Structure formats: C-alpha cells, structure tokens
Structure 1
Amino acid sequence: MPTEAEPVAARASRVSRRFGEHLALRDVDLELEDGQITVLLGANGAGKTTLLRLLAAVLPPSAGTVEVLGVAAPAAASGRRARGLRRRLAYLAQRPSLDPEMTGGEILHLVATLYGLRRRERRRRVAGLAAAFGVDGHLERRVAGFSGGLRRRLHLAAGLVHDPQLLLLDEPAAGLDDQGRAFLWAELVRRAGDGRAVAVVTHDLTAAERHAHKVAILDGGSLLACDSPGALIAELGRTAVAVTAAETLERRALERAVAGIEGVAEVAASGGRGRVVLARSDAVRRVLAALAASPLQVLDLEVERPSLASVYRRLTGREPAELLPRRRGTP
C-alpha cells in the first residue's frame, strides 16, 4: 500500500473499457506512486496501451473510475483543469510524430515554448535533455536526416522537456540501440529518484527486473498480478531446465525422460526445444541426469533460474517472445 512518502499520482479503480463489442480492459485496479517506476507487461492485445491512455486522460473508462494528479474523470476535464493536467503529465505514444523539416533543436525549443518555459529555463532544459538522450550533437540537423533511433531519442527528450510529475511511456525503447536504452532507463531512474511517477510499457524483462519498483502483468484485458519484481519471482517464479535437441522434441518423449522424478511440475516442447519446469529446485540434478541418460538426442541443457520470464509463463501460459511488439504491416 502507498505510504505518506509515496502518494498516489494516478489511480484506476475497477476500470473497464470497451471498443464496440470488444472488451479491452476488465475490472483493472492499478496505482502509480510518486518516486516509483511501474512496468506494464503483456502480449499484443493485453490492454497495456488502453490502460496507459486512460491514465493519460486520452480515453474515458466504460466503467470504473480514474483519478490523475488529483483530478477525477480526467478525460472529461476542460479549461483550467485540462491545461493543468497537460502541464503536469507526459504521455509518449509508440510512434514519434516529429516535423521532418525542423531541426532537432527547433523542435525541443518549440515544445518548451508551448509549455510556457521562460527563455533561460528553456535553454537549460533543452541542453540537459539533449545531453541525457545523446542528441546534443544533432540539434542543428533537420529531423528528415535522423535515423529511426535518433528520432526516438528526440521524441523522448521533447516529451519530458516540461519536467512532468507523471510520465506515461508506451514502448519507449522500441527502435533504440543499446546506448539509447541505457540513456532512457538512466533518465527514468533519475526522475523516479526525484519523486516523479513513471509507468512504462516494455517487453524488456531484464530492464524490468533491474529498474521497476512494480511490475503489472496483463493478459486478455485483465490484471493478473502487480507487485515488485522480487516479490513476484519469490512467489511465482520457477526453476526450469531448457533442452535443445538435434531432432524435433515431442512433449510425450520429454515427459517419459523425466517420468517418476519428484518435483517436476510441467513439461513443454516445440520444434527442437523443450522445457522441464520444476516445482522444487532440488530436482535439478535428477532432471539433468535423466535427460543426459535418455535416448533423446540432446545437444544442450541449461538451467533457468526463477525470473520474470518464468512468472510470465506461469501466469499467462505464453512465451515471453510474445511480448515483442508487432512490426508495422503485421496483423
């Protein structure tokens, strides 16, 4: 539960959202607290972007309530309340929308001006964000000549130039290289440390484990779990043995290879790979020995320790690879 030191910046209570006959969100409860990074995980269609848009006051819920930065029903806010919300939150959608004819510096200064920043403060923030996202050497260039990664970095810098209290980011690392992702997470961690509330949709489980204070796992429009990475892994994570074979692995053959071993919870196989999930970590040695002695043409055995990936598999029955965003043009 939030404490006085961690006030709630945004709250969704029993929220549902329909698009025609399609129920995109179902009875979701979520709180975003100041000073914390909350990561939203889920496959395509899980409801992550819809939830983020509700919290960004872009969409109203079909049922339930939303409160953002002290404003109830923020999607219906108008006048001074709406302007106040826009100054205090940032919603960065997946696809950057930047004028290709403007330079990077012109875009950052324009956005800062629209938010009412004075000239000295505007220069300071533009310089700081340009350095933070590694675009300071490109501010004189037209955006038309930027790579996709540079456009993404500029998009992120522009979205944060007004120093929002609440940051809502939808796949902000998409299109970024390793350096760009490092810039991004360093900036988000810094802002959370300064008391900002941050919500991020990402498929990067490693970054989520390392940086998130809370991870919310959604599937089919429902919130399945929300807790710290450590708590989720301690409660739901499982050790597994990953099997790579020289031939197609059948689940029944893998089950026969580990039959009778106490502590085996689940067996799965697809193509030349399989996985033996364990309810007890002390079964690892017995499983490894049984697989090595089996008639299966085993090429490699790898022990997978409990992780967010194992939590996601257990809760959703899906592979973490399904978290990857679809490329444009794919259904």
Structure 2
Amino acid sequence: MPAAAEATGDTGTTNATTTTTALAAPAAIEATGLTKSYGGTRTDTSVPVLRGIDLRVPTGTVFALLGPNGAGKTTAVRILATLTEPDAGTARVAGYDIRTRRREVRRAISLTGQFAAVDEAQTGAENLRMMARLVGLRRAAARARADGLLARFGLSDAADRLVRTYSGGMRRRVDLAAGLVGEPEVIFLDEPTTGLDPRSRRELWDVVGDLAARGTTVFLTTQYLEEADQLADRVAVLHGGVIVAEGTPAELKSRVAGHHLDLTLATSDAYLRVHATAPHATHHDPRTRALTLPTDGTARHVRALLDELDPTGTDVAHFALRTASLDEVFLTLTAPTTTHPKEPTHA
C-alpha cells in the first residue's frame, strides 16, 4: 500500500482503476445514516456518539476505521455486529439487515475485541475444539478444524500448552483462530493489536493479510496509523461522530497533505535566510536547521522551490522528498477545533 502512494504516471492510472473496481464489487457491509446516543431519554440530555455515518466495504477487502479515543469506533462495530441497536439508520452485513436478520448476521461474522477472549485454563487446541463443537461440528471434524487453524496461525508447537503460558501475540492469534472456526464471511477486529509488542503486531498483520487474500472481509478499527497504512484497502476517519474523510491511504495523503520537501540547511545563517523566504513551511526546527515545505511532488516543482529558496546552491545541505504520512492526515482531520462528547467506555 505505501508503495502506491509513490507511484506516478501509468501506475497512478492502475491504482485509480483498482479503486474503482473495488468500489464496484459487491458490498460485505453497507450502512446509511447510522446514529447512536447514550445517557438520556430526552434529546437535550443524551450524548450523541454517532451522528449519521455512511459506510460501504467491498467483499474481500480490508477496511480500517480510524479515530481518536471516544470517536465512536467501537459503537460502530457493536452496531454492525448486532450487539447494539442504532437509534436511526440502516445497515446490511453479509447481505443481511442488522435489525431484521440478526441471527443470519451473527452466523456470517466474527468479532474479536481489544482483549483476547479465550479460556486461559485450557490449551490452545482445547479452545479451538470447543469452539468447533459449539458451531456444530462433530468431534472428528472439530479436531481436524482445530488442527488446521493451529497450523495456519503457527501455533501447532504450542497446541497442548495452557493458554495462560502464551505470549500476548500468541493469545491474540489463538483468539483470531477461534473466531475463524465457523469460517465467517466478515471479521470485525476492534483494535486487535492493542498492547502488543512490535514483533507480535507484525505477526498479526501477516494474519490479517492472509485473511484478506483468502477472500474474508476484514473491518478493522485501530489507533495505529502505520497499521492502517500497511493493511487497509480503504480508510475512513471518524471524528466527532461523523466520517470526515474516506479513501485509499494514498488518496487521503494526497487530498490532505500531498508531498513534503524536507530541507536541512548548511548553517544557522542559511536557515534564517531560507526561513524568512518560506512562510509556507509546515515544519521548522532551528536546532537542527530543518524546514519542511509542501509540494505537489513533481520534479518541476521541487526544482523551482530549490531555485527560489537557494539560488546560489550553497544554503541547502540536504533535501528529501516524501509522501505525507497517515499520521499527518489523521492529525489534520482530527484537529481539536471543537469539543465533541466522548464515547461511553462500555460502548
């Protein structure tokens, strides 16, 4: 995904075509005008959490819902997973209405929350066999299903160990494996890498990538911007109960921040001279003599900026062109211009 952000020319056309194709694909999740409030029976005393959000997630893709704490991410997931009733709006998951076909929705989905929900007093194999029996598999089929998932998630060697002895990453993997016992069409992952170390987080990313490659639709909420950048086909930013932007990671970067030219000036005097002629700099640090300027990323514009700021070719010691990060997009879109109610901790 990040490589796509650097693409130009014909590759950009290919990326646009891929996006259009994905959006034209059948939707695994469709929601229109979802609203939810908590804390009061009257309109003037209730706290709005979702203020009418629309979502469309094509089948077989990874969709990331980003937002700061209290933005409404978990509430949105609970509504789509039929655990919470919306106050207004409609949604269909795996083709079923979340209000009138709750049983069918629940059969078609899996939900993994922020903390592993497995029995730590059982082994990994026992957890998976138990789940397989609960979804209706006979004993032999349940054992085979558990063995297959343990192998797929790299847990075969730990199959007969109690889950309480597993690392955090291993617990998350067996939790995900348990959610896949029933072979769901859609899997909701609500901040699945919270509390994991970097290695375990990347192992889980591999699992998510494998799920999507096998045709499972993944709806992911996360506060890790790198996670969404690495995994998601499309990203939506939820802020104050509304979707403030949606698109591919590359589209959001281009729409909100484009490219940046990072400059390191040769001397303090050079820094002062260039800074004085660059009021549009988005970042400046006199200690490291660094300046960052927005650019459209074309060679022509970069050359023009350098010629304008350093006509003698002696003030700029180093420069680097980079695509804006999702962190910069996120900070721009969720800037605290207004105060929004926090999402209830139970939601």
* 1:264-303 → structure 2 map (5 Å cutoff): 264=280, 266-267=282-283, 276-281=292-297, 282=301, 285=306
Residue 58 (structure 1) aligns with = 83
Query: Counterpart amino acid of 2:79?
Result: L
Cα drift, residue 153 of structure 1:
1.9
Aligned counterpart in structure 1 of residue 275 of structure 2, from 239, 245, 258: 258
SS in 2 for 1:191: helix
Aligned counterpart in structure 1 of residue 324 of structure 2, from 291, 306, 330: 306
**CA-to-aligned-CA distance 1:177-197 (integer Å, 9 cap, x gap):** 444334433332333233321
Cα drift, residue 221 of structure 1:
1.4
| Worse-superposed segment, 214-223 or 279-288 | 279-288
Residue 221 (structure 1) aligns with = 241
Contact 1:288-1:301 at 8 Å conserved across structures: no
**Percent identity for Structure 1 against Structure 2:** 35
Cα drift, residue 33 of structure 1:
1.6
Residue 32 (structure 1) aligns with = 57
Aligned counterpart in structure 2 of residue 129 of structure 1, from 139, 149, 163: 149
Cα drift, residue 113 of structure 1:
0.9
Query: Counterpart amino acid of 1:258?
Result: H
Residue 198 (structure 1) aligns with = 218
Count, aligned residues: 300
SS in 2 for 1:209: helix
Contact 2:96-2:104 at 8 Å conserved across structures: no
Go from structure 1 to structure 2 and tell me whether the alpha carbon gap of 1:196 and 1:147 turns closer, same or farther (over 3 Å shift). Answer: closer
* 1:120-269 → structure 2 map (5 Å cutoff): 120-240=140-260, 258-261=275-278, 264=280, 266-267=282-283
- Give the superposed CA RMSD: 3.6
Q: Report the TM-score when normalising by structure 2.
A: 0.73
Query: Counterpart amino acid of 2:30?
Result: R
CA distance in 2, matches of 1:15, 1:208: 23
Cα drift, residue 124 of structure 1:
3.1
Cα drift, residue 136 of structure 1:
1.9
Go from structure 1 to structure 2 and tell me whether the alpha carbon gap of 1:272 and 1:317 turns closer, same or farther (over 3 Å shift). Answer: farther
**CA-to-aligned-CA distance 1:224-279 (integer Å, 9 cap, x gap):** 111112222233333346699xxxxxxxxx999623337x264578x999874515
CA distance in 2, matches of 1:124, 1:96: 23
Q: Report the TM-score when normalising by structure 1.
A: 0.76
Residue 17 (structure 1) aligns with = 36
CA distance in 2, matches of 1:61, 1:136: 41
Go from structure 1 to structure 2 and tell me whether the alpha carbon gap of 1:4 and 1:178 turns closer, same or farther (over 3 Å shift). Answer: closer
